[in-house]
Amino acid sequence: MEMAIDLVYPSPELLVTAVMIAADNVTGMVFLFLFHIPDSLHLWTTYTLTLCSSITIVPLVAVSFPTTRMTIDTD
């Protein structure tokens, strides 16, 4: 969350946090709704969780951002 706030610095922290929490809630709701699809084994959950965890590492490694907030705070 701190990285997202730094990336969109001029925007208020409250707005960034609210958007991230809303996106997290919608994603969780969709993921939990998928359990209502009739399937006896739910083997897809293991692959989905592994894939989601792996996909999130790529943007975290690739992103570089200016430390504008830290510069302003330390001055």
| Average of per-residue pLDDT across 39-60 | 81
DSSP states of 13-68 as a string?
Answer: HHHHHHHHHHHHHHHHHHHHHGGGS--SS-THHHHHHHHHHHHHHHHHHH-----H
| Average of per-residue pLDDT across 2-14 | 83
Tally the domains of the chain: 1
* Alpha-carbon span 40 to 35, nearest angstrom: 10
6 and 69 Cβ atoms separated by less than 8 Å: yes
Q: What is the pLDDT of residue 75?
A: 66
pTM (2 decimals)? 0.62
Consecutive H or E run containing 5: helix 2-7
- Which residue range is the domain that position 66 belongs to? 2-74
Q: What is the pLDDT of residue 17?
A: 93
Q: Is the pLDDT of residue 1 over 70?
A: yes
More confident residue, 68 or 9: 9
Mean of per-residue pLDDT scores for the chain? 82
Q: Structure tokens of 14?
A: 């409250």
